[in-house]
Structure 1
Amino acid sequence: MPTNGMILVFYLGKIPGFNLYSTDSDKTVALFTISILFLATCIAPLLIALALKKLKIISSLKMPNREERSIPFLLTCFCYFGAYYYLRYEQELPLNGLIFYFIFFGMFATLLGFVVTLFWKISIHMIGIGGITGILSFLSKFNQDVLLYPLSVSFLIAGLIGFSRLRLKAHNAKQLIAGFCLGFCCELFGIFYLFN
């Protein structure tokens, strides 16, 4: 989900009223940033999950039990932090500081999701799509006309993901709503707080 969100943000990066790049940049900066996020938030967690399954720490890659989700969740938080730290402090990328806020609050939502998982099962999928929807809601501040369609689509996708998770009996409605609200609020309100 973080990779999909970042691809969308870079695609919308030059909407009227908002410039994603702090200087004149080309697509290599976007590709580099997306690649690091993909490695840290998709490939690394997948490899971690495969290793945990091989070590019999988790019974399935689906991790149906709340207790099994804690270790993979925490390790994913470390991967997310590694990507954030590397992109923010180890590279001198000519990007608008908002990009780093997007990544930071995505990491923060994941960390809060880990804490919630210690006591209650929450939908990781909905945290992700909630975060993307929160980012788009924030960006709509710059140009509502351009963002209306992507924002509407993100709400539609959130509904489809929620419906599919219910249909698969992976979560109940409360877990789905809580996941969406967690991701949405972390991104939207966190960025509003720092940006204003």
Structure 2
Amino acid sequence: MKDFILKAISYVFHPIIMPLLGVLFYFSKTPRFIPEHVVKAKIISIVILTIILPILLYFLLKTINRVQTIELKSTKERLIPLFINAVITLLILIRVLPPDEIIELYFFFLGILCSTFACFILAMFKVKASIHMIGVTGFFMFAVAIGLHYHININGTIALMMIITGAVATSRLHLKAHTNEELLLGLFTGFMPQLIFLNYWL
């Protein structure tokens, strides 16, 4: 039962869903008026580009034997998926969330791009950083920033995200997917770009 729960945590809080969670969190908290049709268009675009497209590309890579499992256990397996993810994120920044529309989400995804690029560089040097921790801590920092930006109480969200972050780290350790050092490296890689970019929009 314990193994099932910890494995489920890794899938439920998979890094592939974190960009969408960031977008949904922003639209649920922002006091700015944004037309409903614009919100729906942005969310649909993010779902297609950050979830559906990567899943389809994963199965393509698996079919041609460029990846073995969705866990991407080796640094070599990570290179192509990370590169593809960086290209997709860049496309989002150019076509879906340009800086002159929703500045907060633009810098959120710019932070994601920097984290992805950093993870790619690390993989090139055969160093693994936990992508799960990158995703969770990147969203965590963005959520805190939104609370500060709009002066809203998100204590519940912060408490929940602390629990989720701990659960994800525990899950990855229990499954022997990462070492403590790789988890800390992932935390730093996800957290820092979001923190640095606060200077440009907070």
2:106 to 82, 94, 100: 100
Cα distance change on mapping 1:143 and 1:13 into 2, 3 Å: closer
In the alignment, which of 176, 181, 184 is matched to residue 174 of structure 1? 181
State the partner residue of 1:116: 122
Q: Distance in 1 between matches of 2:196 and 2:188?
A: 11
Any idea what SS the aligned residue of 2:23 has? helix
Aligned partners of 2:19, 2:97: CA distance in 1, in Å? 16
- For 2:23, the aligned partner's letter is M
TM-score, structure 2 as length reference: 0.83
More deviation in 4-13 or 138-147? 138-147
Tell me if structure 2 keeps the 8 A contact 1:50–1:61.
Answer: no
**What is the aligned counterpart of 2:30 among 4, 8, 13?**
13
Q: How far apart are the structure 2 equivalents of 1:4 and 1:147?
A: 15
Query: Offset of 1:144 from its aligned partner?
Result: 5.6
- Which structure 2 segments of 5+ residues have no match? 1-17
Q: Residues of 1 paired with 2:112 and 2:26: CA distance?
A: 13
Task: Give 2:177's aligned amino acid.
Answer: A
| Structure 2 SS opposite 1:59 | coil
**Aligned equivalent of 2:53:** 44
Deviation at 1:78, TM superposition (A): 0.6
Aligned equivalents of 2:34, 2:164: Cα separation in 1: 31
In 1, Cα distance between equivalents of 2:51 and 2:93: 14
Decide whether the 8 Å contact of 1:130 with 1:180 is kept in 2: yes
Q: Which residue of 1 is the match for residue 15 of structure 2?
A: none
Deviations 1:86-120 (A, max 9, x none): 1145xx98x44222111211122111111112220
Counting aligned pairs with the same residue, the percent is: 23
Contact 2:67 2:77 in 1 (8 A): yes
Check conservation: 1:137, 1:188, Cα contact below 8 A. Answer: no
Whichever structure has more helix as a proportion of its residues is: 2
**Displacement of 1:195:** 2.5
Counterpart residue identity of residue 104, structure 2: L
Partners of 1:142 and 1:104 lie apart in 2 by: 18
Number of matched residues?
Answer: 184
Aligned twin of 2:84: 75
Partner SS state of residue 39, structure 2:
helix
Letter in 1 for 2:189: L
Q: Which amino acid aligns with 2:187?
A: F
Between the aligned partners of 1:185 and 1:111, the Cα distance in structure 2 is 13
Q: Structure 1 CA distance, aligned partners of 2:102 and 2:140?
A: 19
Q: Return the structure number with greater relative CO, CA threshold 8 A, min gap 6.
A: 2
Aligned amino acid, residue 150 of structure 1: T
Q: CA deviation at 1:185?
A: 1.2
Alpha-carbon distance in structure 1 between the residues aligned to 2:45 and 2:119: 22
